[in-house]
Each structure stands twice: as C-alpha cells, then as structure tokens.
C-alpha cells in the first residue's frame, strides 16, 4: 500500500519521497489512517518499527489543518522518557515538516538550563518533552497544557522503568478531558494497561512483531573501547584497513558534523549527512559518496534507511544503535547481494550490556578486540 492511500497530504508525500521513505512500514500503514480519523491508538512496537513517523506524520497534518494560535497553549504534546529520544523525535519532525506552514515545535528536557526553553516557549504548537522538565516549565508558567488537543506518550514502558509514574499522573490531571491520545510501548504490562485505562478511549490496538534478516555475508567485529579512544580508533582503522568507502553511524546530528570535521582535518575525505542538513547538501554528500569522491560518510539513523548503495564494503557503528533491529538494518547496508562486507561496532563500557542484547537478538556472537590490545591506541 503506498503512503498516498493513507490519507496524507501532498506536502507530506513529497517530504516522504525526499527522505527516501518508499513505502509505509506496517505500524505506519495501520496507525496513520486511524490517527487522522481522531481515534485513540495503542501501539505495541519497538524502536526500529517506524513508530515515530507513524505518529509524527499525522500529527503534522493535523496541525496543518488547525487554526494555530500564538500563545503559551500547547496544541500537541509528545512525552518521551529521555533527552536522546526528545532530540530524535524533533529530528524526525524537522525532516518531514515544511517551514512554510508555521508550525513551531520545540524539544525540552532536563540537564540543561531552563531559561532558553522558557523564553522560546511562546507560540509553540508542538512540544516534545520529558516529564520532569515539562512539569518545571508548567510550574514556571512558561506554558499551559489545559487546552491540549493531542497527547502522544512514546516509549511508555521506558518511562515507567525510569520512575516517571508520579510525574505522568500529575501531568494527566492538568490535561483537558477531551483530546486524542496515543500511547506507544515496546512491551505490554499491567502498569501500561493502567495508563491505557486512564487515558485511552476504546483505543485501536496495533501490535507489530519483529522480523529478522540474514546476516551471513557480513563479517562482524566489535572493538571494546572508551569514548575518548573512539576517534583515534576510527582514523586508525580507516587508514590501516584502506577503507575507501565507509559509512559511519553516530548518535546525533551534532556528532555527525563533529566527526566528519575531525576526519577531514586528519586528511580523510568525509561528509556528514543528517536531518538538519538541507536536502541539497544531503543529496550532494550521498552522490559524492556513492561515486567514490569521498571516503567516509557520517550519518544518523534517520537517513540510514534511505541509503542504498550496492557493494558498500565497510560500515562502522561509532555509536551503537538504540535497538537490535536498527543494528540489523545498519549492518545490512553492507554484504548485500552475496558480497562480503565488514561491520565494525565500537562498544564503550556503558554500552556493553546493550551490545549483549543486540548480539542475542541478531542471533550471533560478535568477535571482540579490547582497547589494551590495540598497540597504536596505547602509545
Ligand atoms: P523508529 O522506530 O521510529 O525509531 O524508526 C526506525 C528507523 O526507520 C528510522 O531510521 C526511520 O528513519 C526509519 N523509517 C521509518 N519508517 C520508514 C519507511 N517507511 N521507510 C524507510 N525508512 C523508515
């Protein structure tokens, strides 16, 4: 089923093709028409299923169709458990929104100064927030959720795991009764059911199963290194393994720019590609990379799916992906069409547990090399 038949506007259809989203993932196919139809949704889907676009696309469309007010009243609230997810959801929004529609979106989270967030809040229509910071902002009268139209709770299970239950309950008491609700969670538990019972009205329940992929032709390798050694290791590998075409995955757009800048400074032709770059810059970077004019392309997951390059010999996970499914997708960029490829992951001490889970899901233990055994890093 094409995106067009889900009821999305021409603006969004254009943006989808610019972002190389060729056809909807199951969660998008199943959720988008109901969301556009004002139904409540409960999506049981993991990161990697395409759940962010499943709610962001109809949310943008609904905002485009609303009379937007310039005030401190938020129209749409997306609650997320972590700063990383807040930034990532904002990146997805930026990738699909057209600046001409005047929707103002902001991502707010703790751990950074609250003042710029308070100042920037006026006129915000779509707010992506972690629960604690949202409450602080409300208590400072920076915004109001009393006339909210749409609520999205993303990664509800993680939210509970991190102990946000009290904050969430408090936020619920501030919301108007009539609104549209969407709740996404990777798992279903009694506690999630409790939230479901409080906020959702006869929701449409969508459950997405994971799929797996053959990884036979891909040689996988993991380097266990500290964060400070990742940069030197990257340059060392590109040089000593004569990598002429390597796709490097990192966690954020900011890091993309930073790493590509540092590689270039060390004489390795590199370019960054992420959601904040203009379409023209992204296309040019991708073309140059495909044609072999640049050696390294540094990317976030946001654009990784669209990158279709035959015979890509090397990919490097400078930062691990958030889900095993993303890992499989990332390393699936190499070793295509029966060609062998090499996928290297950098595993920092705090990522070791996460990498264990990834390996379990990917079905194969990955050989490892430890920092202390890499002579060049210990000079
Ligand atoms: P999510 O589960 O929302 O974190 O999305 C996982 C990844 O899938 C992200 O890298 C998205 O950019 C990508 N993605 C989501 N939907 C599509 C689609 N229909 N076509 C291609 N890539 C997609």
> DSSP secondary structure string, 132-153?
HHHHHHHHTTS-B-TT--EEEE
Dist. CA 24 → ligand 1 center (Å): 9
Residue with tokens 């499989």: 328
Count of other CB atoms within 10 angstroms of residue 67: 5
Residues, the chain = 379
60: tokens are 């943008």
| Tens place of pLDDT per residue across the chain (379 aa) | 889 999 999 999 999 999 989 889 999 999 999 999 999 999 988 766 889 999 999 999 999 999 888 999 999 999 999 888 899 899 999 999 987 788 999 999 998 899 999 999 999 999 999 999 999 999 999 999 999 999 999 999 888 888 899 999 999 999 999 999 999 988 777 788 878 777 878 889 998 865 444 566 788 999 999 999 999 999 999 999 999 999 999 999 999 999 999 999 999 999 998 878 877 788 788 889 888 899 999 998 766 555 556 568 899 999 999 888 788 878 877 765 556 789 999 999 999 999 999 998 777 789 999 988 887 777 6
Instruction: Say if CB 83 and CB 119 are below 8 A apart.
Output: no
pLDDT for 69 equals 85
What sign for the dihedral angle of Cα 9, 15, 20, 25?
Answer: negative
Ligand 1 atom index nearest CA of 301: 10
49 lines ligand 1 (CB under 6 A): yes
* Highest CATH level, class, for 3-207: alpha beta
Indicate which residue's Cα is closest to atom 8 of ligand 1.
Answer: 50
Report the pLDDT value the prediction gives residue 212, as an integer from 0 to 100: 43
- Rounded Cα–Cα distance for residues 367 and 49 (Å): 27
Atom 18 of ligand 1, nearest CA residue: 21
- Residue 21 near ligand 1, beta carbon < 6 Å: yes
Amino acid 249: pLDDT: 95
Q: Is the CB of 108 under 6 A from ligand 1?
A: no
User: Which residues are CB-neighbours of 349 under 8 A, at least 6 positions away?
Assistant: 224, 226
3-class secondary structure for 63-119?
Answer: HHCCCCCCCCECCEEEECCCHHHHHHHHHHHHHHCCHHHCCCEEEECCCCCCHHHHH
| Assigned CATH for 212-377 | 3.40.50.300
Q: How does DSSP classify residue 223?
A: E
Would you call 292 helix, strand, or coil by DSSP? Answer: coil
- List, edge to edge, every strand of the sheet that includes 314-317: 270-273, 296-299, 246-249, 314-317, 341-347, 218-224, 368-370
Kindly give the distance from the C-alpha atom of residue 47 to the centroid of ligand 1, in angstroms, as a whole number: 9
Please give the distance, rounded to the nearest whole angstrom, from the Cα atom of residue 327 to the centre of ligand 1: 13
Cβ atoms < 10 Å from Cβ of 12: 25
E-strand ranges in 178-319 read 180-185, 204-207, 218-224, 246-249, 270-273, 296-299, 314-317
CA distance 316 to 156: 30
Ligand 1 nearest atom to the CA of residue 95, by list position: 12
Domain-wise residue ranges, the chain: 3-207, 212-377
Q: Is 299 in the pocket of ligand 1 (CB under 6 A)?
A: no
State the pTM of this model: 0.63
The set of long-range contacts for 162-170, using a CB threshold of 8 Å and a minimum separation of 24, is: 162/81, 162/82, 164/81, 164/131, 164/132, 165/191, 167/131, 167/132, 167/134, 167/135, 168/79, 168/131, 168/195, 170/135
Q: Reduced to 3 states, what is the DSSP secondary structure of residue 243?
A: coil
What number of other Cβ atoms are within 10 A of residue 337's Cβ? Answer: 7
Residue owning the nearest CA to atom 16 of ligand 1: 50
To test the pocket of ligand 1, the residue of 305, 307, 321 to mutate (highest count of ligand atoms within 8 Å of its CB) is 305
Identical fold, 3-207 and 212-377: yes
Q: Which of 356, 362, 293 is nearest to 327 (CA)?
A: 362
Q: Which atom of ligand 1 is nearest to the CA of 325?
A: 6
> Which residue out of 53, 96, 323 has the highest number of ligand 1 atoms within 8 Å of its CB and is therefore the one to mutate?
53
């Amino acid at each position: 089923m094409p995106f067009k038949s889900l009821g999305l506007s021409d603006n969004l259809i254009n943006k989808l093709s610019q972002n190389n989203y060729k056809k909807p993932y199951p969660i998008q196919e199943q959720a988008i028409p109901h969301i556009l139809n004002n139904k409540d949704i409960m999506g049981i889907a993991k990161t990697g299923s395409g759940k962010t676009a499943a709610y962001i696309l109809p949310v943008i469309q609904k905002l485009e169709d609303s009379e937007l007010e310039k005030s401190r009243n938020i129209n749409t609230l997306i609650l997320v458990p972590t700063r990383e997810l807040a930034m990532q959801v904002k990146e997805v929004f930026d990738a699909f929104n057209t600046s001409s529609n005047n929707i103002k979106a902001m991502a707010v989270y703790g751990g950074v100064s609250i003042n710029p967030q308070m100042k920037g809040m006026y006129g915000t229509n779509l707010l992506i927030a972690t629960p604690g910071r949202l409450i602080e902002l409300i208590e400072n009268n920076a915004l109001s959720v009393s006339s909210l139209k749409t609520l999205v709770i993303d990664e509800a299970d993680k939210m509970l795991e991190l102990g946000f239950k009290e904050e969430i309950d408090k936020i619920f008491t501030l919301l108007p009764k009539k609104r549209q609700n969407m709740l996404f969670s990777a798992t279903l538990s009694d506690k999630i059911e409790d939230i479901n019972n409080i906020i959702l009205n006869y929701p449409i329940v969508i459950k997405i199963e994971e799929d797996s992929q053959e990884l036979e032709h891909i040689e996988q390798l993991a380097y266990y290194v500290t964060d400070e050694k990742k940069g030197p290791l990257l340059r060392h590998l590109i040089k000593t393994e004569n990598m002429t075409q390597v796709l490097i995955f990192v966690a954020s757009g900011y890091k993309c720019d930073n790493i590509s800048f540092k590689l270039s400074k060390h004489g390795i032709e590199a370019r960054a590609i992420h959601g904040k770059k203009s379409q023209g810059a992204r296309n040019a970077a991708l073309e140059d990379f495909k044609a072999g004019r640049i050696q390294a392309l540094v990317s976030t997951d946001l654009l990784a799916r669209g990158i279709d390059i035959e015979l890509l010999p090397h990919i490097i996970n400078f930062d691990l992906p958030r889900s095993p499914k993303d890992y499989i997708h990332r390393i699936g960029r190499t070793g295509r069409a029966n060609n062998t490829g090499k996928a290297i992951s950098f595993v920092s001490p705090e990522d070791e547990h996460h990498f264990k889970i990834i390996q379990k899901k990917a079905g194969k233990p990955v050989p490892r090399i430890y920092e202390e055994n890499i002579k060049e890093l210990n000079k």
